[in-house]
């Protein structure tokens, strides 16, 4: 637990009440909050934290490579603290729920050389779309 916070500390990142709260809010598995949701949750622990600080802090965590930005097509970006275990996303087309899933093979292998258009490919991002059990039942 609070793995994200540990990682940030370990990198000698200057720690403040605001940064600690953002890291705590964002930590965990299957966490994919928007900046605004992070802000709302952070306010519960530290009422005077500002939106700008939340945005700045999230941006820095992304730059540090400790948090991943997930563009889910919806309006706002989501932030995923699970940056060190490679994984893909399973998204509910109706309610937007997201779960982390782990690749079985090496998806890079699925792109044959003649399909690479001369690119040097280093990363693959996979999003599975469907209905979550709850929405499928409704």
Partner DNA sequence: TTAAGTGCAAACAGTTTGCATAGAA
Partner DNA sequence: TTCTATGCAAACTGTTTGCACTTAA
Q: Rounded distance, CA 94 to CA 132, Å?
A: 8
The helix/strand/coil state of 77 is: coil
Binding status of residue 129 toward a second copy by CB under 8 A: yes
| CB under 8 A, 24+ apart: contacts of 83-87 | 84/7
Of 53-72, binders to a second copy (CB under 8 A) are: 69, 71-72
Q: Is 33:81 a contact under the CB 8 Å cutoff?
A: no
Nearer to a second copy, 10 or 104 (CB): 104
- Interacting residues toward a second copy by CB under 8 A: 69, 71-73, 90, 92-93, 99, 101-105, 107-108, 110-112, 115-133, 136
| Sequence ranges of the binding site for Zn(2+) | 92, 95, 132, 135
């Amino acid at each position: 637990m609070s793995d994200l916070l540990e990682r940030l500390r370990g990198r000698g990142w200057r720690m403040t009440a605001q940064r600690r709260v953002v890291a705590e809010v964002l930590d965990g598995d299957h966490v994919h909050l928007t900046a605004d949701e992070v802000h709302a949750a952070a306010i519960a622990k530290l009422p005077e934290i500002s939106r700008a600080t939340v945005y700045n802090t999230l941006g820095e965590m992304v730059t540090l490579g400790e948090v991943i930005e997930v563009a889910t097509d919806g309006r706002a970006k989501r932030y995923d603290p699970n940056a060190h275990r490679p994984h893909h996303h399973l998204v509910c087309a109706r309610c937007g729920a997201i779960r982390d899933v782990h690749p079985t093979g090496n998806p890079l292998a699925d792109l044959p050389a003649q399909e690479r258009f001369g690119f040097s490919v280093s990363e693959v991002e996979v999003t599975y779309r469907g209905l979550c059990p709850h929405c499928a039942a409704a």
